[in-house]
Amino acid sequence: TQLLEQSPQFLSIQEGENLTVYCNSSSVFSSLQWYRQEPGEGPVLLVTVVTGGEVKKLKRLTFQFGDARKDSSLHITAAQPGDTGLYLCAGVRGAQKLVFGQGTRLTINP
Amino acid sequence: DTGVSQDPRHKITKRGQNVTFRCDPISEHNRLYWYRQTLGQGPEFLTYFQNEAQLEKSRLLSDRFSAERPKGSFSTLEIQRTEQGDSAMYLCASSYRQGRSYNEQFFGPGTRLTVL
């Protein structure tokens, strides 16, 4: 049973398009993180959201934490081929143990 | 480079053999975590240490798995009598725990295990 459900699991779009990835849970997390992982490498942290309703921007990436701290979204504007990768959301619970979603594999075609 | 390092990066073994992986965390980090990631899935928590003490183990960590962090620095993860289902990427992460606030976990590049 996946505590964090990500959708879509796969997404392939053209360069310049916008996209949104969702991360949903029935559980409340103290904070939620988004990671990006390249093939053969470990995940790299993009952002941490802590407060319900919080919005954070990282260049063309916008992250939002749901008001109830159970869900989050990642929106990419004007996607570029360099955005290609596996995007993972992870909830923080307990003694800082991370609970990951299954990931969204994003491909941006030139 | 002073990030988290893991060795080996790749390991191919035959079913029934024992394997051991090593993780060297960022030097001042007091917490060390092990995760397992199978193809098409996100990482799953296995265990974590604070200094040399192993504080939590997942039910995923069967009796064939053992992890140590003898001097509170590097850690080893051993899998005995490997099975094909053990094939996965084994990720190590470290963080510095101070107070009750969350501290970022920094991940290593992982060890990819293939059991034939």
pLDDT digits (tens, 9 = 90+) for A21-66: 999 998 888 889 999 999 889 999 999 998 899 999 999 999 999 9
Q: CA of B8, closest CA in chain A: separation in Å? A: 13
Name the average pLDDT for chain B: 92
Interface of A with B in 32-51 (CB under 8 A): 40-45, 48, 50
In this prediction, what percent of chain B has a pLDDT beyond 70? Answer: 96
* Separation CA B110–CA A38 (nearest Å): 12
Strands B10-13 and B111-115: parallel
Average pLDDT over every residue of B91-109? 84
Give CA–CA dist B111/A51, Å, rounded: 35
Whether B13 contacts B113, CB under 8 Å: yes
Percent of chain B topping pLDDT 90 = 78
First to last CA, chain A: 36
**What is d(CA A108, CA A96) in angstroms, rounded to the nearest whole number?**
33
Q: Over 70: is that where the pLDDT of B1 sits?
A: no
Higher pLDDT, A75 or A40: A75
Residue of chain B nearest A4, judged by CA positions: B42
Above 90 in pLDDT, residue B72? Answer: no
* Class of residue A39 by CB neighbours under 10 A (exposed 0-12, middle 13-18, buried 19+): exposed
Contacts of residue B44, defined as CB under 8 A and 6 or more positions apart, other chains included, come to A100, B35, B36, B37, B58, B60
- Shortest Cα–Cα distance, A65 to chain B (Å): 16
Among the residue ranges A19-33, A87-101, B65-79, B92-106, the one predicted with the least confidence is B92-106
Q: Which pLDDT band holds residue A7 (cuts at 50, 70, 90)?
A: very high
Flag whether pLDDT at B98 surpasses 80: no
Q: How far apart are CA A69 and CA A7, in angstroms?
A: 17
Q: What is the model's pLDDT at position A43?
A: 94
Weakest-pLDDT range from A15-19, A24-28, A105-109, B88-92: A24-28
Q: Which residue of A has its CA nearest to B41?
A: A102
Residue B100: pLDDT over 70: no
pLDDT at B53: 93
